[in-house]
Structure 1
Amino acid sequence: MKVDILAIGAHPDDVELGCGGTIAKLISEGRTVAVIDLTEGELGTRGTNITRAQEAAEASSILKISARENLKMKDGFLLNNEEHQLKIVKMIRKYQPNIVLGNAVEDRHPDHGKAAKLISDACFLSGLIKIETEHDGMPQDAWRPKQVFHYIQWKNLEPDFVVDISDFMDVKLQACMAYKTQFYDPKSDEPMTPIATKDFQESLTYRAQDLGRLSGVQFAEGFTTERLLALKNFDGIIL
């Protein structure tokens, strides 16, 4: 099942928060997108791994992604080792994306930075023909994505480029708020967390608005790159 873009997150909701608007835009343009969650987010203060899975399914429906899988790695204790690398390699070879979107290279949650390096290493290893993997009993071909981009999460990292999501901000917010147990709910009696505050919910809009201000659009999402980007032409630039 080949897709154009494979978005990977350490926890269910990472992808929606970091690049939900970009995903919605790409899909509206006819691109195919699959999502891989590395953990079930089972250490989250609010909700459970069961409610998180239900919320991820609802968010997936809102974004209209083609497929979503959870690798069930250990939340809070991600390791960049052979076992975890090969799990991601199998997903990359299964979906054969041209572009991979991964966690922020540096962030408040230690899993995010760990996942960023784990994803990057797996993307490289996936292209090595002497690493043999199987899926459903069938050998997989080597596959290396052409680009690996990292979305921005809690920390205000300096983006290498932004994507205009002005027409898809509402979809992004709907997908994020599908995680009802995780985010602001004045009626909830669960413990308060930094991401469950009203300020965090509002930050989704004003941070995208600020990147839009800096780039001349209404709303934008920022990404960092692992290598220098070359433009084919100037057609995609908003002037």
Structure 2
Amino acid sequence: MKNLSFAKSGERLSVLCIGAHSDDIEIGVGGTILRLLAEGVKLDVHWCVLSAAGHRGEEALSSARAFLEPAESQSIELASFEDSFFPSQTREIKNWLLAIRDKVVPDVIFTHSRDDEHQDHREINRLTTNVFRNHFILEYEIPKWDGDLIQRNAYVPLTADIMERKVALLLRHFATQRSKDWFDGDTFRSLARLRGMECRAPARFAEAFTIRKVLLA
């Protein structure tokens, strides 16, 4: 297994995080963001949530600020597209993403998985890869009752401390989700432990991603 890195301590990295719903980015890539910041990477983060209205919007904003507190710069954009009906809002969502593309030139983009069973997640993946055609894109995963976990081909190991901070921030900031039977520390730790086993992570935890296309130069 070849080891690669986003950036080293002191280096600058521009990151675009795209999530359909208020907790998606934190669940899928929150540990990776926390790790990069802990390692001293100077992150410029553009954090975009497409369905974040009312209390969910308040949760999304407070959570993003907590995850990104040490970042070099942060820009948080929340939209109010209708949850569960993204495929019928394709034109509007694509225009929103095009406006994001005009404002940021990211080194890496984190977005939903193409193989996700949630229709909103799949639509965001489809539009992200359509709008950002010349970018490095990593697809993250969201555990759910649909049972749509697949084989991944990229991993970011997490320390136990980073894993616990990710879980603590998720449970602290998303009170509206705590009543769901899958939204708990056991779920998040278990998936990270499984992915950590797959990549033999030194501290046993990892987040996993899919890379569709890479240019080797």
TM normalised by structure 2 equals 0.79
- Alignment partner of 2:31 out of 3, 12, 21: 21
The DSSP-based 3-state class of the residue aligned with 2:76 is: strand
| Cα distance between partner residues in 2 of 1:94 and 1:16 | 22
User: Equivalent residue for 2:82?
Assistant: 74
User: Equivalent residue for 1:225?
Assistant: 211
Rate the CA distance shift 1:108–1:31 in 2: closer, same or farther, 3 A. same
User: Equivalent residue for 2:108?
Assistant: 99
- Alignment partner of 2:62 out of 43, 48, 58: 58
Aligned residues: 191
Work out whether 1:163 is the aligned partner of 2:165.
no
TM normalised by structure 1 equals 0.73
User: Equivalent residue for 1:149?
Assistant: 138
Any unmatched runs of 5+ in structure 2? 1-11
Native 8 Å contact 1:183 1:201 kept in 2: no
1:172, distance to aligned residue in structure 2 (A): 1.4
Rate the CA distance shift 1:31–1:50 in 2: closer, same or farther, 3 A. same
Question: Any residues of structure 2 matched to 1:1-239 within 5 Å, and which?
Answer: 4-28=14-38, 29-40=41-52, 49-64=53-68, 66-79=74-87, 81-124=90-133, 144=134, 146-154=135-143, 155-166=148-159, 167-177=161-171, 178-184=173-179, 196-197=180-181, 200-217=184-201, 218-228=204-214, 230=216
Larger radius of gyration: 1
Native 8 Å contact 1:23 1:33 kept in 2: no
Rate the CA distance shift 1:198–1:24 in 2: closer, same or farther, 3 A. same
Q: Percent identity?
A: 24
1:229, distance to aligned residue in structure 2 (A): 5.8
Rate the CA distance shift 1:55–1:156 in 2: closer, same or farther, 3 A. same
| Cα distance between partner residues in 2 of 1:120 and 1:211 | 24
